[in-house]
Amino acid sequence: MSQDLFDYGIQNEQSDIRVHVCPVARRVYVYPTDCGLQAIEMGNYPQRNGYQRDVDEPTARGYLVPPFDIEKCVGLTFRSTAWDKINFQSTDDTSEKGIKAIQLVKGMLRQGLFPAPFLGREVTDKDIQIDGTDIIVNSNGSASGILRLQVKCDYPGGEKSLGGTGNLFLQTAERNPNKRY
């Protein structure tokens, strides 16, 4: 029995930054969400279906985009012990992979290994400069300083030279028959 996919993915999420954790390539790719949207809107990349284990029909659809075709995308590498500690397995279900990806990114944030876009504003008030402040930094240029991250476990994704598929999967539709979040 065929099930329709629902319009759900990068195009309607409320994130500022996307993070693709790619265990096969042992890389984490980070880019502004808007840059990912611009890449798929160019129309140069193929759409493919994604599947969950034990489900015969597609459970997702998205675009296959090489990481560095996404403007401002950076690929991060770090010690193997971090990957080993998280212990990603191809047999993990989608929920387990997602939880592990979030654990890895939280560890990166704690260790200061996460590249966040910051906008600096030079302080021109001489009194404030005398007090020792030359630049005020806000993440993503927002007054609140809040930066919203969307973390995806893109298990086989990443550069081919590192063993990955050569692409990131930028999802635009899904259904979740097994209720895995």
35 burial via Cβ count (<10 Å: 0-12, 13-18, 19+): middle
Domain boundaries, given as residue ranges, for the chain? 6-115+148-174
> How far is Cα 57 from Cα 52, in angstroms, rounded to an integer?
9
β pairing state of 168-174 and 74-76: unpaired
> How far is Cα 111 from Cα 66, in angstroms, rounded to an integer?
27
- Is the pTM higher than 0.85? The answer reads yes
Q: What are phi and psi of 166, to 5 degrees?
A: 95, -5
Q: What is the pLDDT of residues 67-121, one digit of tens each?
A: 999 999 999 998 899 999 999 999 998 889 999 999 999 999 888 888 876 656 6
Going from the C-alpha of 34 to that of each of 25, 64, 70, 120, the distances in angstroms are 24, 16, 10, 20
Torsion of CA 152, 155, 156, 160, to 10 degrees: 60
Q: What is the pLDDT of residues 19-67, one digit of tens each?
A: 999 999 999 999 999 999 999 999 999 999 988 878 889 989 999 999 9
